[in-house]
Homo-oligomer: A and B are copies of this chain.
Amino acid sequence: MRWTRTLIPTLREDPQDAEIDSHKLMLRAGLIRKLSGGLYIFMPLGLRALKKVEAIVREEMDRAGALEILMPALQPAELWEKTGRLTTMGPGMFKLKDRQDRLLALGPTHEEVVTDLITREINSYRQLPCTVYQIQTKFRDEIRPRFGLMRAKEFIMKDAYSFDTSADAADISYQAMYDAYARLFTRCGLRVKPVEADTGAIGGKWSHEFMVMADSGEDAVIECTACSYAANVEKAERAVTVPAPCTACPVVEPVATPNTRTIEAVAAFLKVPAARIVKTVIFTADSKPVAALVPGDREVNEHKLLRILGAKTLERADDATVARVTGAPVGYAGPIGLTIPIYADQALENACDIIAGANAADTHLLHVCIGRDARVTAFCDLVNACEDDICPRCAKPLRLTRGIEVGHVFKLGTKYTEAFDSRYLNEAGKAEIMIMGCYGIGVTRTLQAIIEQCHDANGIVWPASVAPYAVALLSLDPKDESVRTAVANLERQLESNGIDVLVDDRDDRPGVKFKDADLVGFPFRVVVGAKSLAKGCVELKRRSGGDSELIPIETAAVRIGQAVAEARAALNPVSAN
């Protein structure tokens, strides 16, 4: 392909509304253009790179035995009613009506559609296991679309769904997808970290997120400084050393704490660290009040509390409920004397001589001993893990870091198959519920994550497997006939060897071409100029670094072809076998 025959609108300056490097670079390198908030157009180079990512995803899904299908984006709302998600998906799901006044969803995901399909098409254990996938456009009405393709209203996902006869079989399907994810991200040139994750609104029991670690990531991740433990901050656990039960506790003593409705205010007033105070938060879980106790320097993790309670809904109690339950205005709740269920963080077990609200206005209690003074229903993990907490696996310090979620694997269990009564006949002819898993990859997000991880001050540094073109062939003297001929020959030789090459044939200064080649980030840059050509040579340089080298024009196609093949093979754990 010739630069003058395609459309690569590179920009000299950073676009104003792009916040993170990868977003700026996608715009500057002419890979995408914004249509409006959260909606992007893929330009020729961007689409080429996207198709390469898609091809890698597809190959690894096929290798894992998953079957490619394609489901509609428009979905009848009735299907979503079956699982209750027409409501629980909330305003993030686009909905519209057709001429027949039927409500349709514009699919943000496809659990309902695929479960309905499999329920109709699979009826025997002989047809299981079955994993299907699609690479398809998804829609989400984001409150605040941002960071380019990272959080868009319309994006491409690979979503896969497994159906199995048993939990053990489902584990095998899950592991096959997990392994495929590890392979395919590696092949895309990405370093990813699988982290344990919460299952959120999609339901299910267990999941891993594949994170590209990056300061610009939207997800907080806790990882161990020593072992491989890593988890989404909502899911992360910590080890806690419970002190021995106390023996000689001082007597509880009320203290006046006027106008101290927050932990910070109490800590300042009493001149104690926040960790010495118990934070008591009243929630309404499935319309019933419960209390959660955590150390004063921590926040309650509502996902964990919800899971512990086994509740469907959980929200902070309103002021009236707090007043009714504690007998005091908001800000003075404490565990002593409460008659509602009390769940305390594990760090509070055997906590002694601490400070708590008195369930009375403007008053706190000193010398509280949790075991002696409060009727705790259960001690459990109720808070987010933090920097410097202790790893639950190896007891070394944890650290807080950030990541971009590019993939997600879930064990869903029977949440959807029960809603659709998805049964197969087992060997004994008995109808049993199928066990399900689901597996997503943000394909467009992955493309941008590659750039976020692979760039430098001059532009993108594409991995050879996903670069829009492997080679940029710069014609420095396009008016010189010997240069033109050499460029055309080399282009033809490379293309016939299956190397994709973009010839910069613009009538422009060499500096412009060098800068654009670096900005777009082609893995290999080959320069053909009249001066070196007179010596029978062209110049080869890798975008990833190292000096340029002069190579003889006669063997240039072979040398470049080898270099590209090596760079691609280095990213492919499968071809190495």
Asked whether, in the complex, the Cβ of A39 is within 8 Å of the Cβ of B106, the reply is: no
A153 at interface by CB-CB < 8 Å: yes
**CB within 8 Å of B: which of A28-51?**
33, 35-37, 39-44, 47, 50
Contacts of A120 in B (CB 8 A): 33
Q: A7-B127, A7-B130, A127-B7 are in contact. Are A72 and B141 (CB under 8 A)?
A: no
Q: A7-B127, A132-B7 are in contact. Are A139 and B74 (CB under 8 A)?
A: yes
Report how far A92 CA is from B93 CA in the complex, Å.
22
A327 at interface by CB-CB < 8 Å: no
Of the candidates B37, B44, B75, which one forms a contact with A69 in the assembled complex, judged by CB atoms under 8 Å apart? B44
A256 at interface by CB-CB < 8 Å: no
The number of residues on chain A lying at the interface, defined by a beta carbon within 8 Å of a beta carbon of chain B, is: 52
Report how far A99 CA is from B39 CA in the complex, Å.
14
In the assembled complex, how far is the CB of residue A259 from the closest CB belonging to chain B, in whole angstroms? 39
Over the window 1-42 of chain A, the binary record of Cβ atoms lying under 8 Å from chain B Cβ atoms (1 yes, 0 no) is 000111101000000000000000000000001011101111
Asked whether, in the complex, the Cβ of A99 is within 8 Å of the Cβ of B91, the reply is: yes
Asked whether, in the complex, the Cβ of B74 is within 8 Å of the Cβ of A39, the reply is: yes
Query: Which interface residue of A47, A96, A116, A126 has the most chain B CB atoms within 10 A?
Result: A96
- Total identical chains: 2
A341 at interface by CB-CB < 8 Å: no
Asked whether, in the complex, the Cβ of A94 is within 8 Å of the Cβ of B96, the reply is: yes
Asked whether, in the complex, the Cβ of B113 is within 8 Å of the Cβ of A41, the reply is: yes
Nearest residue, chain B, Cβ from A36: B76
Asked whether, in the complex, the Cβ of A35 is within 8 Å of the Cβ of B71, the reply is: yes
A362 at interface by CB-CB < 8 Å: no
Asked whether, in the complex, the Cβ of B94 is within 8 Å of the Cβ of A70, the reply is: no
Report how far A116 CA is from B5 CA in the complex, Å.
20
Report how far A130 CA is from B36 CA in the complex, Å.
23
Contacts of A5 in B (CB 8 A): 65
Contacts of A121 in B (CB 8 A): 7, 9, 33
In the assembled complex, how far is the CB of residue A429 from the closest CB belonging to chain B, in whole angstroms? 17
In the assembled complex, how far is the CB of residue A36 from the closest CB belonging to chain B, in whole angstroms? 5
Asked whether, in the complex, the Cβ of B74 is within 8 Å of the Cβ of A153, the reply is: yes
Over the window 45-67 of chain A, the binary record of Cβ atoms lying under 8 Å from chain B Cβ atoms (1 yes, 0 no) is 00100100000000000000101
Over the window 91-131 of chain A, the binary record of Cβ atoms lying under 8 Å from chain B Cβ atoms (1 yes, 0 no) is 10011101110000010000001001100111000110010
Contacts of A132 in B (CB 8 A): 7, 44
9 tightest A-B CB contacts, nearest first: A42-B70, A96-B96, A39-B72, A44-B67, A36-B76, A72-B154, A9-B121, A41-B71, A99-B141
List 8 extra interface pairs beyond A35-B75, A99-B141, CB under 8 A: A6-B67, A7-B121, A41-B70, A41-B117, A47-B69, A94-B96, A94-B98, A98-B141
Please, could you name 21 A-B residue pairs with CB atoms under 8 Å apart, sorted by A? A5-B65, A6-B67, A7-B132, A9-B121, A33-B121, A37-B100, A39-B72, A39-B75, A39-B76, A41-B69, A41-B117, A44-B68, A44-B69, A47-B69, A72-B154, A74-B139, A74-B154, A94-B96, A98-B153, A99-B141, A106-B106
